């Protein structure tokens, strides 16, 4: 039995969220709904343009961190490797992750803390769409030294955050982690992360997938279009089947499609009025990974993930309270009590 359900590596970012009108994005030539990387000067300048607005939420984040937090909140066991700076933001980040119960490379390894902790400016428009501009900071230096190989080898899944592929060092580290996972029989999950990001680093995604692909892939409908080069959902999913044994494609208000290796499952969306879509995909992946590592089938995993993601978009921030998590899990398991587990 694996010591950890999921081992993950990701960019440690302090998320700073603001309500923004769409015209602000237009005036600053920012592409709505996509992620962009900035250097520290560009990030500081954009923060100045945001001005005196009060932040809606400040929390430890990054895609993989949010997914590990969700997995842990549902009752799973995760290990998260990252890199933070030697500053108060780094202290806050590590404390929040520790308080959530997620083990970290900073607990078990002597990882030097240098530089500035990364930050992500999240701009939320009235339609609940989120646009992210990120300064990676210390995360840009993430490398093989930050990978806890014994913890990885003792896990059921390795979960790879696609955003890591922007860094030469992190990309190399992830390729090594994937190789080790294959040697030790650890299954590999990958998220495509963002359509614009995928377009800019598609060659690296294809290199990472390689000839042996991955075991599980998460993406949304827009990312699928960029990956496959087609607007057809069916054709796009057929292309995914060439590089992954199983996958989940989220489609916003149209729900999601889950492929379990043999059969497609249509999972309906839970109708809600969205306030902020940040973290919805991360929550979906975390809930999904929790379900399948606890022996539930892909149909139940999709419903749990969809229900949890719907709850996240009703609020600011990517985390849910323990009470909400418990209620979601109990309701989904009750609704599908007669669905056989795999």
- SS3 at position 120: strand
Q: What pLDDT score was predicted for residue 51?
A: 74
Q: What pLDDT score was predicted for residue 307?
A: 96
Q: What pLDDT score was predicted for residue 113?
A: 85
Instruction: Say what the pTM is.
Output: 0.91
Tell me which long-range contacts 334-341 makes (C-beta under 8 A, separation of at least 24). 335/303, 336/299, 336/300, 336/303, 339/297, 339/299, 339/300, 340/297, 341/295, 341/296, 341/297, 341/300
Distance CA 87, CA 181 (A): 33
How is the chain split into domains, by residue range?
Answer: 4-12+61-115+140-335
Q: What pLDDT score was predicted for residue 110?
A: 66
Q: What pLDDT score was predicted for residue 108?
A: 55
Q: What pLDDT score was predicted for residue 154?
A: 97
Contact 74, 331 (CB under 8 A): no
Whole-angstrom distance between the N-terminal and C-terminal Cα of the chain? 17
Q: What pLDDT score was predicted for residue 332?
A: 94
CATH numeric code, 4-12+61-115+140-335: 3.40.1190.20
Task: Write out the E strands in 162-250.
Answer: 187-191, 214-220, 244-250
Best CA proximity match to 14, nearest among 86, 122, 89:
89
Contact 191, 63 (CB under 8 A): yes
Distance CA 120, CA 131 (A): 10
Q: Which tokens sit at 66?
A: 């949010």
pLDDT tens-digit readout, 97-111 = 889 999 998 875 567
Q: What pLDDT score was predicted for residue 242?
A: 96
Which residue ranges in the chain fall short of pLDDT 70? 52, 108-110, 339-342
Cross-sheet strand order for the sheet of 13-19: 35-37, 130-135, 118-124, 13-19, 57-61
């Amino acid at each position: 039995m694996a010591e950890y359900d999921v081992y993950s590596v990701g960019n440690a970012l302090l998320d700073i969220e603001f309500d923004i009108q769409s015209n602000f994005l237009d005036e600053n030539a920012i592409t709505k709904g996509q992620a962009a990387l900035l250097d520290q000067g560009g990030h500081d300048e954009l923060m100045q343009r945001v001005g005196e607005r009060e932040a809606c939420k400040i929390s430890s984040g990054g895609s993989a961190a949010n997914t590990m937090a969700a997995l842990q909140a549902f009752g799973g066991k995760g290990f998260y490797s990252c890199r933070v700076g030697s500053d108060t933001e780094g202290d806050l980040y590590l404390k929040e992750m520790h308080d959530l119960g997620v083990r970290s490379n900073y607990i078990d390894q002597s990882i030097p803390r240098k530089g500035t902790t990364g930050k992500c400016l999240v701009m939320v428009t009235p339609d609940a769409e989120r646009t992210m501009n990120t300064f990676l900071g210390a995360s840009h230096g993430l490398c093989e030294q930050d990978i806890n190989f014994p913890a990885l080898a003792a896990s059921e899944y390795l979960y790879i955050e696609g955003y890591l592929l922007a860094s030469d060092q992190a990309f190399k580290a992830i390729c090594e982690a994937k190789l080790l996972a294959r040697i030790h029989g650890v299954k590999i999950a990958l998220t495509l992360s963002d359509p614009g990001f995928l377009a800019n680093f598609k060659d690296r995604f294809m290199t990472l997938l390689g000839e042996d692909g991955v075991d599980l892939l998460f993406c949304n409908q827009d990312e699928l279009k960029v990956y496959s080069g087609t607007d057809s959902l069916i054709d796009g999913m057929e292309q995914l089947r060439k590089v992954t044994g199983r996958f989940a494609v989220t489609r916003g208000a149209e729900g999601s499609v889950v492929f379990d290796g043999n059969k497609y499952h249509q999972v309906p969306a839970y109708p809600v009025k969205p306030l902020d879509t940040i973290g919805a995909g991360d929550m979906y992946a975390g809930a999904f990974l929790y379900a399948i590592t606890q022996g539930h089938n892909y149909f139940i995993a999709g419903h749990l993930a969809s229900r949890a993601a719907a709850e996240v978009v009703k609020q600011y921030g990517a985390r849910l309270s323990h009470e909400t998590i418990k209620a979601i899990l109990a309701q989904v398991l009750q609704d599908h009590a007669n669905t056989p587990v795999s």
